[in-house]
Amino acid sequence: MRLPNDETQGRRPRIGSLFSGYGGLDLAVEEVFDGETVWFSEFSPAPARVFAHHWPGVPNLGDITTIDWREVEPVDVICGGFPCQDVSTVGKRAGLHPGTRSGLWARMAEAIDVLQPEWVVAENVRGLLSATATRPTPEGDETDGCNPVPSTSEPSTPDGTVRGVESDPWSLGDQPARPLRALGAVLGDLADLGYDARWLGLPASDIGAPHTRYRIFILARRAVSDAAGLRRGPRRGEPGPGTRTARNHRPVASGHRPGAERAGGSRAASGVRTGVAPDRSALRRWGCYALAIRRWEHLTGREAPSPTLVSGDGQYRPAPRFVEWLMGLPDGWVTAPDLGLTSPEQLTALGNGVVPAQAVHALGALRAAEGDCAT
């Protein structure tokens, strides 16, 4: 395994957060890497307010499409759950292409390319496995990404398939129009940037949550020390590695409010098989969900709030505090009155977030696998 160099020894790893939301992935990354978040990027005002409240004084770099990464403080870890709308199975399935929300992954890749962190953490929905993607064509490459067209001198079938070539028992090359998947594009980009990557899919129910919420987690590590220096020297007028200073002064003000107490260490995964039996009152209240609810209450140390609210028109609405509890967050992490979020804003922020305990379990497993291979 790599040993820490003189710059990193004796200090906590610095973390840069992209597409930060309410900070669920960041809680996990801070726990797994024992690090501290030094900047974040969140465009939407409501979740940015939540993040700034829990990480007071940490600057928000704002809209990721406007950031000049040469002016940003280098970090040891970059993490982010890039937008899922276009790869989600419940969306329009536009895919990971330029111009889509999910295509903002390219902006995250740009940050990785410039800052060259030691680690990269990415998270997204299960649709990353099946949604299509487009990778930029390398300069000078005129192909369309399909298999090459056979020359007229080569024997071929009427459909253009070349005859007389070595057979392919794994069926990897017989489909010239086989689409590139979103996960493949992300892993390919990381490889191009000089990173070794591992990934896994994990449902939240595997760590004891009373819902599935399947997520893909990617952990990548720089394959070669000082990869930026090996690839090229500083361009004209560009500062050398390690000499940049942060010049972005666009923090989201946290006011005089102290940061709320952070979520404690994630206990969920370690106690998922703990025997918990629902009592009669739990069965009356929750019915067939009683066992799952009681188990999550036991693992989180919090009683489940009411799942619904009655609106002014007499309609039942999902209760944000209940969704917050389902995500394994401390009470008030998103719903505290002093944050000033409306119920729809709270539900939107929670719906786009990550279960911290789920991310801790996934990243811990990926780090362990990376360590086993490095020894």
Domains of the chain: 14-138+179-234+242-258+356-374 (3.40.50.150), 269-351 (no CATH)
Alpha-carbon span 335 to 312, nearest angstrom: 19
* Residue 84 banded pLDDT, cuts 50, 70, 90: confident
Q: Which residues contact 27 (CB under 8 A, 6 or more apart)?
A: 262, 263, 356, 359
What are the tokens at 180?
A: 């590139």
**Helical segments of 275-316, H only:** 280-286, 290-300
Q: pLDDT per residue over 349-370, tens digit each?
A: 999 999 999 999 999 999 998 7
In the chain, the N- to C-terminal Cα span, in Å, equals 6
- In 3D space, the residue among 107, 108, 80, 78 whose CA is nearest the CA of residue 16 turns out to be 78
Give DSSP secondary structure letters for 122-142: EEEEGGGGTSBB-PPPPTT--
Range among 231-235, 300-304, 308-312 rated most confident: 300-304
* Residue 280 banded pLDDT, cuts 50, 70, 90: confident
Element (H, E) at 178: none
Give backbone dihedrals phi and psi of 304, rounded to 5 degrees, phi first: -70, 130
Q: Are 268 and 209 in contact (CB under 8 A)?
A: yes
Q: Is the dihedral of CA 359, 360, 364, 367 positive or negative?
A: positive
- In 3D space, the residue among 12, 26, 13 whose CA is nearest the CA of residue 333 turns out to be 26
227-239 mean pLDDT: 45
Q: pLDDT per residue over 38-72, tens digit each?
A: 999 999 999 999 999 999 999 999 999 999 999 99
Give backbone dihedrals phi and psi of 216, rounded to 5 degrees, phi first: -100, 130
Range among 83-97, 99-113, 125-139, 320-334 rated most confident: 320-334
Distance of CA 121 to the CA centre of its chain: 6
